[in-house]
Amino acid sequence: MMKSIILIVLDGLGDRPGSDLQNRTPLQAAFRPNLNWLASHGINGIMHPISPGIRCGSDTSHMSLLGYDPKVYYPGRGPFEALGLGMDIRPGDLAFRANFATNRDGVIVDRRAGRENKGNEELADAISLDMGEYSFRVKSGVEHRAALVVSGPDLSDMIGDSDPHREGLPPEKIRPTDPSGDRTAEVMNAYLEEARRILSDHRVNKERVKNGRLPGNELLVRSAGKVPAIPSFTEKNRMKGACVVGSPWLKGLCRLLRMDVFDVPGATGTVGSNYRGKIEKAVDLTSSHDFVLVNIKATDVAGHDGNYPLKRDVIEDIDRAMEPLKSIGDHAVICVTGDHSTPCSFKDHSGDPVPIVFYTDGVMNDGVHLFDELSSASGSLRITSYNVMDILMQLAGRSDKFGS
């Protein structure tokens, strides 16, 4: 019988000992009976996201966990910025990170247009337009930030930025970095000129000038990335995939992979999210889907804050929500791990490995009884994120034989 799979990624889970917690990690310090139950009945180990010592982003790590090598399929930061703002992107599109900036007489006097956000949505709409065979969509993000997605024939990301990266300089003309970028550079320069014209005349900016504030009359673009032709999750893994995730960029990635994206009421993508609702939803989805990805972001948020007690408390709350996982081993394989470590002492992603546990009915426990950085390391597995999908498929009775 083939089983369904639930992969639960506790974002930034791994940590280092902290004096705030008597030299224990938040995971070690947390009351975590359900995680320990999974460890006591499952196969344990440590997992290196991407490869040992690599400090990775959530984006590259999640891609590798889902079976996609980011060295082949990573679309670049521009597309992820667009995904994070909830924009739809398709293979062949070109996406940029963008800023509203202040252009005075041809010189950028503030790259962030006073970090103003009010009115940016209107400005973004005004410069979302079609020109010939190309369509340009702009979406406003936090403060002055935005993303630009261009769709049309034969786009290339072999082009430079219009952002001069310094104040006191004119915006750069977009230049090809390779002859394959010639046409795209032309298209982009024509668009940016049109955008400049529209923005300068816009009511929102005229109002700002009248009130002595900085107008967002220039769209500076950078980090061009072309969305690669990427096989769907089903094509890649021969499973029907779903996700229960909070972060907009991760929802966007799952949509790009044509997985079914599910929202859960009260799931906020940060501390205090509806953890129980997410896990229950994932359990429900095992009847309609072969594979369910769950991401819980709160652990990473606490790590970036450098807040040991908060990270411990978040883990305790998540652990309580995991109760239903103990009774579905007859038809599901469960994996709990992190996408990288976010040590509270470092307040950023580190290259430390993360604990991992695989559980389903009938597997042999490897003698590990606790789920944490140290206990899991004495388990039977020492793997990278690229191995996770193979192990899950194998335990789910879904893998083909290698050889005869």
Q: Using alpha carbons, select from 221, 230, 274 the residue that is nearest to residue 252.
A: 230
Q: How far is CA 218 from CA 142, 146, 197, 198, 291, in A?
A: 17, 12, 9, 10, 44
Q: How far is CA 149 from CA 96, 175, 227, 239, 396, in A?
A: 7, 18, 10, 30, 39
Mark residues 101-130: x for contact with Zn ion by CB under 5 A, - for none.
------------------------------
For position 15 contacting Zn ion by CB under 5 A, the verdict is no
Element (DSSP H or E) covering residue 400: none
Q: Which is nearer to Zn ion, 208 or 349 (CB)?
A: 349
Q: Which residue stretch of 108-116, 209-217, 280-288, 333-341 sits at the interface with Zn ion (rule: CB under 5 A)?
A: 333-341
**In this chain, which residue has its C-beta nearest to Zn ion?**
58
295 contacts 9 by C-beta, under 8 angstroms: yes
Q: CB under 8 Å to 321, separation ≥6 — which residues?
A: 275, 276, 278, 279
Q: Which residue stretch of 95-103, 271-279, 335-343, 370-378 sits at the interface with Zn ion (rule: CB under 5 A)?
A: 335-343
For position 300 contacting Zn ion by CB under 5 A, the verdict is yes
Query: Cα separation of 294 and 264, whole Å?
Result: 11
For position 372 contacting Zn ion by CB under 5 A, the verdict is no
Q: Which residue stretch of 17-25, 80-88, 339-347, 373-381 sits at the interface with Zn ion (rule: CB under 5 A)?
A: 339-347
Q: Which residue stretch of 3-11, 15-23, 192-200, 229-237 sits at the interface with Zn ion (rule: CB under 5 A)?
A: 3-11
Q: Using alpha carbons, select from 191, 139, 200 the residue that is nearest to residue 162.
A: 191
Token duo for residue 305: 């804050």
Q: Which residue stretch of 7-15, 26-34, 71-79, 354-362 sits at the interface with Zn ion (rule: CB under 5 A)?
A: 7-15
For position 352 contacting Zn ion by CB under 5 A, the verdict is no
CB of 304 to Zn ion, least distance (A): 6
Q: Which of 11, 15, 116, 161 binds Zn ion (CB under 5 A)?
A: 11
Any idea which residue has 């990266």 for tokens? 165
For position 58 contacting Zn ion by CB under 5 A, the verdict is yes
Q: Which of 161, 319, 339, 352 binds Zn ion (CB under 5 A)?
A: 339
Q: CB under 8 Å to 365, separation ≥6 — which residues?
A: 40, 41, 42, 43
Query: Cα separation of 279 and 114, whole Å?
Result: 42
- Number of residues binding to Zn ion, judged by CB under 5 A: 4
CB of 315 to Zn ion, least distance (A): 15
CB of 8 to Zn ion, least distance (A): 13
Element (DSSP H or E) covering residue 104: strand 94-104
Determine the length of the chain.
404
Q: Which residue stretch of 16-24, 57-65, 268-276, 358-366 sits at the interface with Zn ion (rule: CB under 5 A)?
A: 57-65
Query: Cα separation of 65 and 73, whole Å?
Result: 13
For position 290 contacting Zn ion by CB under 5 A, the verdict is no
Mark residues 69-108: x for contact with Zn ion by CB under 5 A, - for none.
----------------------------------------
CB of 80 to Zn ion, least distance (A): 12
For position 172 contacting Zn ion by CB under 5 A, the verdict is no
